[in-house]
Amino acid sequence: MSEVIRFGVSLEKNLLLRFDRLIRGKKYTNRSEAIRDLIRREMVKEAWEKGGEVAGAITFIYDHHQRDLLNRIMDLQHDHQKIILSTQHVHLDHDHCLEIVAVRGSAGDVLELADALKALKGVRHGTLSMTGTGKETK
């Protein structure tokens, strides 16, 4: 393990209070641990964005009563079928559907599809989880 260096961080009080609440909720034992994780996550993201194939899942919940939403979701999925491995649909309750889309492709393509799905009116709480496959696409 390389040498550990301490450094100071200046933040607005309110932002720090919110950060503390956030990391308590995520069960971090201290701020250093949380900040290290944030930094690592950003670095992994940067590596993905520079090329490399990624695999992951786009998960989202939507209101299936929303007009035209189903068609828009379907259109997006057809437009991105090269990176979609499979789609799982769950009818959660009377109003809501949950969809899990397994993807594999360049990070740019995967992010584009995830952002487009999350931006649709009526889609709530979309998340993307990605991991590297170790292959380079560029």
CB of 89 to Ni ion, least distance (A): 6
Q: Which residue is nearest to Ni ion (CB)?
A: 97
Burial code (b: 16+ CB inside 10 Å, e: under 16) for 73-84 equals beebbeebeebb
Q: Whose Cβ is closer to Ni ion: residue 97's or residue 102's?
A: 97
Q: Whose Cβ is closer to Ni ion: residue 105's or residue 126's?
A: 126
Residue 8 per-residue DSSP state? -
Residue 59 forms beta bridges with which residues?
A: 100, 127
CB of 26 to Ni ion, least distance (A): 30
Which spans of this chain sit near Ni ion (rule: CB under 5 A)? 91, 97
CA torsion sign for 55, 42, 128, 48 is negative
Hey, what are 26's tokens? 């995520």
Q: How far is CA 11 from the centre of its chain?
A: 26
Q: Whose Cβ is closer to Ni ion: residue 91's or residue 135's?
A: 91
CB of 97 to Ni ion, least distance (A): 3
Q: Whose Cβ is closer to Ni ion: residue 89's or residue 121's?
A: 89
